[in-house]
Each structure stands twice: as C-alpha cells, then as structure tokens.
C-alpha cells in the first residue's frame, strides 16, 4: 500500500501541498510502547511554563571534549559514527551517563547528512571540519541534486538510532531530533565548507534570487521529512540549527531564510497532525539574528510553528523578552567560553546570567549560546550544570 498522500495546510491560502514522506513506521508508530517519561522539565519549559528551575542541556554535548567520545572516534570515521545506529546511540548516551544533571539528550548526527541525502559528497577533515569537494558553483549545478529524496532510504539510519536511543534512555529524559536550517545548509553546499565571509553563498542570493529560493525550498522539504521521520521514530522535541542566519541582512533573512524555516515547521506540524500524531514542539536556533524586526517575526509560535527561540550569548534575555513578548519560550544563552573561566568564574557568571533570565520571565531552557568547544575540561562542564541547577531555582 502506498503512503504517498498529499494534504493542504490549514490556515493558509490552501495552495501548498505537503507530500507525506514514505516512512517505514508511518502507520506503526501508534503501536509503539515507550517507557514512561520521568523528567519532562524541558517539555514544560518549551511550552512556555515557568518551571521550578531551568531545564538544561548543551549544544554539541556529545563531542570532542569527552575522552569517551575520542576513544570511540579513534576507531571510526565521523560519518560512520552518524550512520551506524549503535555508534550514534552510544555517543548520544555518553554525556547522559556522565552528567545526570542533563535534562535532555540530543541524537548524535550532523546537519550535513541532508546535503549528503541530496546527493552531495561531504567529508569531515581532521583540522578543517566539513568539506564538500564538489560544491554548487552556479544554478547549472542544481541538476546534480536528486529531485526526489527518499529519506527512509537515505537517512533511515537516523530513525533507527532514535528508536534505539529512546528505548535505552528508559524515560529518564526526552530525546531531541534535529536538522540544519536550509540557509545554513545552502551555505555549506555552495561554499564547499565553512567560510568567514560567505561570499559565494551570499552572491547566489544577489545574482540568482529565484534559483536560491528554489534551492532553499528543496532543502527544506528534505529537512521536514527528516524531522517527521525522527518524530515517528521517537524524538520528543526538535531543534532546527540556523548557525549562519546572522550572516544575512535582516532583509535577506526575511526574504530567503525565514520562508524556508516556515516551510519546515508548517510541513512538520501539518503532516504529523494528518497522521494523528500529537504535536511536537520545535526550537529554532537562529544564531546571530539580532534585528528586532526579525526577532518580532519569530515571536508567535502560532504563526511560525516554532515554540522556542535559541539565543546566542551576545543577546540579553531581558531585552529580547521586551521585543518578542511572552508567547515564545527562549533557550540559551551562556557564552560557551565561560566553560574556560574556572570554577569561580563559572559560578559567578552562571549566577549573573540566571538572574537576567529570572527577570526575563516565561519559559526558559538553559543552554550555551553556541556549541561546547573541544578544549573544555569535562569536570568544568559538570560544574556548570551544577551551578545552573542551583542558581536557576525560583
């Protein structure tokens, strides 16, 4: 029986048609019995509830600062770790086993699995980070991308890892599924790797605006299917990482990045509701987006489909609250470098930042304002978590 049905989103102009992805568990998720969730703090905070203390997790919490990660990585390539469900699951659980104070887990994977699923080669090079040897130079190269991406076939390993990990978590804490945002992924696909100036990817926006929008939409479709698959496989919360959103002018953010972000959230919510699945909150991390105008456009979850916004450390939570109001929950926003500040430095800064967040009111998920870096001492991460538990108490 084919599961390919199309539906129209409600509350819009009725033009958009969302194709339901072909997923193995599209009809079987209802029969899955999950262990009862014991700590739902993050799920309450993401819905805007004031919690007794802030739930805390850390972006990139599984990674190179952990000796147990490095030990496993020594025997396996980076993408082998992502693509092998047992390895991904083990890596996801490493920080959870070490730090009982974490209130959420996030599946071990990478945002760049989406360009891979679209047909581009992605390598992870030891000193350089991600490298795409054949980037998209101009719109003529768009024909190199697959027109139809079967997410089950290309990314089924993520779904398997999610199901395995949720079982192993035994309901201790929720599991976050994630993807990269279309603009951030487009930047990698055009630049061929990281960049300081984003000259190539931003010139696409100036030279070929319509083709850029088309590309962003194609990426967004795969991202949405990846998120839907993760939810049906057991993810309880989702995050979309727009790490390079701050490289755009506010106008470009609104013209290019935002519509593709909305395409993802609307498709995810619409398809899940069509399947009769309970709605799942999505956190958006639009790193570097500071323009009040852009933040205001992200302030109403009913319109955007994003329940929470992740803030980087250069924003002040009280100022952001004044701009976005009370409808959206917020996440963040400790300076990742605080983890190099020593025990006293960490304690002082956590207390200060927690006090700002208490003034900001509303739902707060404590996190860093960007990923944890490889040089952090594991015991300092542990101390940071202790301090957040202590100082975020209401």
Look up tokens 């599924």; give the residue: 177
Six token digits for residue 308: 């929470």
Decide whether 112 or 149 has the Cβ nearer to ligand CP3. Answer: 112
Query: 81: Cβ–Cβ under 8 A, 6 or more apart, which residues?
Result: 72, 73, 87, 88, 91, 108
DSSP H or E stretch at residue 125: strand 123-125
Element (H, E) at 133: none
User: In this complex, which beta carbon is closest to ligand CP3, that of residue 20 or of residue 231?
Assistant: 231
* 73 touches ligand CP3 by CB under 6 A: yes
Candidate segments 59-67, 143-151, 195-203, 342-350, binder of ligand CP3 by CB under 6 A = 59-67
- The nearest distance, CB 77 to ligand CP3, in angstroms, is 9
Catalytic residues: 60, 64, 73, 110, 188
Minimum distance from CB of 371 to ligand CP3 (Å)? 4
Which of 18, 89, 93, 110 contacts ligand CP3 by CB under 6 A? 110
Alpha carbon 304 to its chain's center: 16
Please state the closest distance from residue 161 (CB atom) to ligand CP3, in A: 11
Q: How far is the CB of 139 from ligand CP3 (least distance, A)?
A: 24
Q: Which residues contact 354 (CB under 8 A, 6 or more apart)?
A: 54, 366, 388, 391, 392
Output the CA torsion sign for 81, 85, 87, 89: positive
Q: Which is nearer to ligand CP3, 128 or 343 (CB)?
A: 128
Q: How far apart are CA 102 and CA 209, in angstroms?
A: 42
For position 247 contacting ligand CP3 by CB under 6 A, the verdict is no
Encoded one letter per residue, x for contact with ligand CP3 by CB under 6 A and - for no contact, window 10-49 reads ----------------------------------------
Contacts of 33 (CB under 8 A, 6+ apart): none
Can residue 376 be called a binding residue for ligand CP3 (CB under 6 A)?
Answer: no
Residue 106 and residue 178 in contact, taking contact as beta carbons nearer than 8 Å:
yes
Residue 136 found at the interface with ligand CP3 (CB under 6 A): no
Interface pick for ligand CP3 out of 94, 243, 260, 294 (rule CB under 6 A): 243
104 binds ligand CP3 (CB under 6 A): no
Cβ proximity to ligand CP3: between 241 and 306 the closer is 241
Number of residues in contact with ligand CP3 under rule CB under 6 A: 23
Residue 241 near ligand CP3 by CB under 6 A: yes
Closest to ligand CP3 by CB, 91 vs 224, is 91
Q: How far apart are CA 255 and CA 127, in angstroms?
A: 34
Is position 60 an interface residue for ligand CP3 (rule: CB under 6 A)? yes
Angstrom CA distances, 263 to 71, 151, 213, 271, stand at 39, 17, 12, 12
Query: Can you give the length of the chain in residues?
Result: 394
Smallest separation, CB 59 to ligand CP3 (Å): 5
The secondary structure of 187-241 as a DSSP string is HHHHHSB--SS-HHHHHHHHH-HHHHHHHHHHHHHHHHHHHHHHHHHT--EEEEE
- Using the contact rule CB under 6 A, the part of the chain among 17-25, 41-49, 104-112, 198-206 near ligand CP3 is 104-112
Which is closer to ligand CP3, CB of 178 or CB of 391? 178
Residue 76 interacts with ligand CP3 (CB under 6 A)?
A: no
List Cβ neighbours of 243 (8 Å cut-off, separation of 6 or more). 111, 180, 181, 184, 285, 287, 370
Residue position matching structure tokens 């996440």: 331
Q: Which stretch binds ligand CP3 (CB under 6 A): 58-66, 223-231, 255-263, 357-365?
A: 58-66
Instruction: Name residues whose C-beta falls within 8 Å of residue 196's C-beta, 6 or more positions apart in sequence.
Output: none
Our finding on whether 59 is near ligand CP3 (CB under 6 A) is yes
Bond from prior residue into 333 cis (ω within 30 degrees of 0): yes
Residues 165-224 that bind ligand CP3 (CB under 6 A): 178, 194
| Closest distance to ligand CP3 from the beta carbon of 332 (Å) | 13
| Residues in 297-316 that interact with ligand CP3 by CB under 6 A | none
Q: What is the CA radius of gyration of the chain?
A: 20
Q: How far apart are CA 92 and CA 334, in angstroms?
A: 22
Q: Does 106 bind ligand CP3 (CB under 6 A)?
A: yes
- Neighbour tally for 21: CB within 10 Å: 23
User: Which residues contact ligand CP3 (rule: CB under 6 A)?
Assistant: 59-64, 73, 78, 106, 108-112, 124, 129-130, 178, 194, 241, 243, 370-371
């Amino acid at each position: 029986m084919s599961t390919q049905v199309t539906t129209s989103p409600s509350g819009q102009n009725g033009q958009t048609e969302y194709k339901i992805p072909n997923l193995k568990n599209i009809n079987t998720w209802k029969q899955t019995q999950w262990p009862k969730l014991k700590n739902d703090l993050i799920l309450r905070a993401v819905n805007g509830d004031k919690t007794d203390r802030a739930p805390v997790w850390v972006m990139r919490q599984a990674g190179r600062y952990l000796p147990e990660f490095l030990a496993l990585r020594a025997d396996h390539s980076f993408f082998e770790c992502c693509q092998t469900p047992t390895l991904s699951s083990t890596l996801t659980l490493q920080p959870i086993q070490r730090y009982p104070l974490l209130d959420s887990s996030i599946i071990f994977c990478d945002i760049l699995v989406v360009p891979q699923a679209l047909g581009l080669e992605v390598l992870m090079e030891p000193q350089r980070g991600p490298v795409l040897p054949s980037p998209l130079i101009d719109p003529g190269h768009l024909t190199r991308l697959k027109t139809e991406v079967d997410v089950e076939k290309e990314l089924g390993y993520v779904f398997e890892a999610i199901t395995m990990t949720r079982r192993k978590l035994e309901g201790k804490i929720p599991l976050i599924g994630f993807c990269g945002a279309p603009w951030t992924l487009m930047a990698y696909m055009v630049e061929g790797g990281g960049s300081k100036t984003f000259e190539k990817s931003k010139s696409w926006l100036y030279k070929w605006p319509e083709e850029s929008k088309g590309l962003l939409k194609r990426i967004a479709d795969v991202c949405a299917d990846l998120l839907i698959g993760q939810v049906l496989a057991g993810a309880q919360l989702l995050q979309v990482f727009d790490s390079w959103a701050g490289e755009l002018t506010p106008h470009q953010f609104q013209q290019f990045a935002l519509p593709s972000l909305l395409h993802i959230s609307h498709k995810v919510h619409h398809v899940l509701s069509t399947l009769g699945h309970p709605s799942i909150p999505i956190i958006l991390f639009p790193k570097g987006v500071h323009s009040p105008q852009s933040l205001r456009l992200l302030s109403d979850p009913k319109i955007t489909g994003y329940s929470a916004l992740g803030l980087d450390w250069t924003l002040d939570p009280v100022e952001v609250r004044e701009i976005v109001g009370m409808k959206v929950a917020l996440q963040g926003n400790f300076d990742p470098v605080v983890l190099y500040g020593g025990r006293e430095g960490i304690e002082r800064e956590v207390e200060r930042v927690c006090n700002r967040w208490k003034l900001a009111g509303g739902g707060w998920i404590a996190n860093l304002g960007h990923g944890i870096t490889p040089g952090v001492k594991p015991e300092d991460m542990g101390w940071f978590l202790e301090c957040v538990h202590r100082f975020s108490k209401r």
